[in-house]
Amino acid sequence: MSWMTDNPLDLDSLLQETDDDTCGALVVFAGTVRNHHEGKAVSGMSYSAYKPMADRVLRELEQETLARYPVEQCRIMHRTGDLVIGEASVLVVVRSHHRADAFDAARYAIDTLKMRLPVWKHDMYTDGSTAYQDGVPLEDPPASGARAKED
């Protein structure tokens, strides 16, 4: 299994990986590159990552999603490198018995990913300029001995 990749994300292979005859509900979330950002026309986007940590964050987020929600399958992949308009930067695939759980779990996975995944977006605008998008500061790990708060 892989989590971070320089290659175009392949939904079909994630659907095959998560194939599960016990599940009646499948929810997919994809983030795709938009043609605009804060009023400026975007020509493309470049994602960079701190890969050693990013792979671990996604692997653990899959496990955490499976533990927090009654869902049977959860896979997450994130793209790095140069993307054109319309290409997917992230895919979340969840399968469950009941559809409400699949929706909740997929939403949790993408919301949490955006707070934890060490990935940076570099916008390329049609006027030739570029800019790193500001984002969410990563939270410090809990002090040793202390346990992470469960909410």
By a kind-dependent CB cut-off of 5 to 8 A, residue 19 interacts, out of another protein, a second copy, none, with a second copy
> Per-residue x/- marks for another protein, 74-93, CB under 8 A?
----x----------xx---
CA distance 90 to 57: 14
Residues 49-88 that bind a second copy (CB under 8 A): 85-86, 88
In this chain, which of 8, 19, 24, 40 binds another protein, going by CB under 8 A? 24
The interface region with another protein, picked from 13-21, 65-73, 118-126 by CB under 8 A, is 118-126
Query: In angstroms, what is the minimal distance from the CB of 83 to another protein?
Result: 10
- Under 8 Å between Cβ of 95 and 73: yes
Instruction: Specify the DSSP element, H or E, that contains 109.
Output: helix 99-116
CA distance 124 to 94: 31
Name the packing angle between helices 51-68 and 99-116 (round to 10°): 150
By a kind-dependent CB cut-off of 5 to 8 A, residue 49 interacts, out of a second copy, another protein, none, with another protein
CA distance 104 to 143: 30
Residue 93 burial (C-beta neighbours within 10 Å; 0-12, 13-18, 19+): buried
Q: Which residues bind another protein (CB under 8 A)?
A: 23-25, 31-34, 37, 47-50, 52-53, 55-56, 78, 89-90, 96-100, 110, 113-122, 132-141, 143-144
